[in-house]
Structure 1
Amino acid sequence: MVQHSILVVEDDKEIATILVKFLRERDYQVTWASTGNEGWEDFKSGKYDMAIIDLMLPGMDGFTLCQNIRWSSQIPMLILSARHEEDDKVRGLKIGADDYMTKPFSLRELGARVESQLRRYGRYQEEIHHEDMLEYDGGLTIYPEKKEVILNSNSISLTSKEFSLLLLFCQNPQHAFTKKELYEHIWQQQEVSGNNTVTVHIKSLRDKLKDPLKNPLFIQTLWGQGYRFVGVPKK
């Protein structure tokens, strides 16, 4: 039997202790983080099949954490929150959460929802092929695992940040990213006024991809908004 790995991000120690004990008794491998930033670091350094996230977290809030995880992964996410407002539920689901439970909650119901989400994710994993490469019109090929990028049969050298930007774009085609979102997601720091780090890296990435600004094949500038990936997958 495969042991599923679950990330629990909950700042209330009493609730977290109950959750972790309940899930481990059901043979899940559980990692607990008490802040949003800690949860994001755990997610990036580990491999998880599901995340259970509280909204009201110190540091990075639950909404931002869910958004960061969804930009990088399709694992199921279940939000736990003491907030009952409909707007919070709608916002959570819109940014990529798969389910939402309000506190206090039934452990029995939580267990059933966890099982349901993991079954659904398992079927999803079986239906898709693991992408060992991404190909686009214009001669661009990306190997995510090897962190290798080929343009018209030639290997191009990207910095770690440039590659992270490109992969984030490819994993979220047509999504309009603001400079603030890109900076805070890739650099993991709060953006400050006048920071042109993202602009410089996007320009360098474009130059290496030989991507024209006016008629882009891959990265489009949305003036006054940010950037989005417009690459066409090769059939």
Structure 2
Amino acid sequence: MRALVLRHDHASLSGPVGDRLVQHGFALDEHTVVPAERQHDPAVEFDFPAPEEYDLILALGAPWSVYDRAAVGTWIDGELKLLRRAHERDLPVLGICFGAQALATALGGSVERAPRAEIGWMPIRSEAEDLLPAGPWFQWHLDRFTVPPGAEELARSRVGPQAFRTGRALGVQFHPELTEETLSQWLDLGGARQAEEYGIDPAWLLSETRTRREESRQRAHRLVDGFLRSALPRTPASTHRTQT
């Protein structure tokens, strides 16, 4: 089985989410939309592959806004088309943060500036604990999505929806893929300054992430397991190489 992994920038790593997909037998085909040298000028040209070539799509986060065309340029249109086609063809799609916002937009929802930022380890109110434990999950976003028409909202916070499901597509606003390595890159790329602007100590974020390493890894694996059970119901749970 092949999984297309959309890395919107070089600092977007699939972490324990990607690891768990590999344990379930997926080969990851990673495509980076914005290369490192264009991090601060992300309006690049990018040709997205055809979703029909894959058995699953994983769309990761990004430091930009889906609606900020001045920043991302036209490549977001290609991604929205890919996500829409994947959903129409009943392919499993997992969108994370920016990826979830793009998925929501592609399926008729919207994205807007949130009333306040959510940065750090935070619990969510989950309506599907078997799939989405209440957390805490790592958050880093200034925007929020609206749930697409016909989709089921699975979790939310005081700021807005945190997860939705429609067909074989699942979007989550938080970051189950986060590791200390990934967070360190985000902080180096301007995240430390942004966190401080919101009164958050970057060193504390790293310390908390280090402390929560194992519990967050297990929680991410549980999310992937639940997603695959619902998206690929004929795939027995015993087919993956168990690593807890």
Smaller-chain TM-score range?
A: 0.3 to 0.5
Which has the larger Rg?
1
More strand by proportion, 1 or 2?
2
TM-score by length of 2: 0.37
TM-score, normalised with respect to structure 1: 0.38
Ranked by relative contact order (alpha carbons within 8 Å, sequence separation 6 or more), the top structure is 2
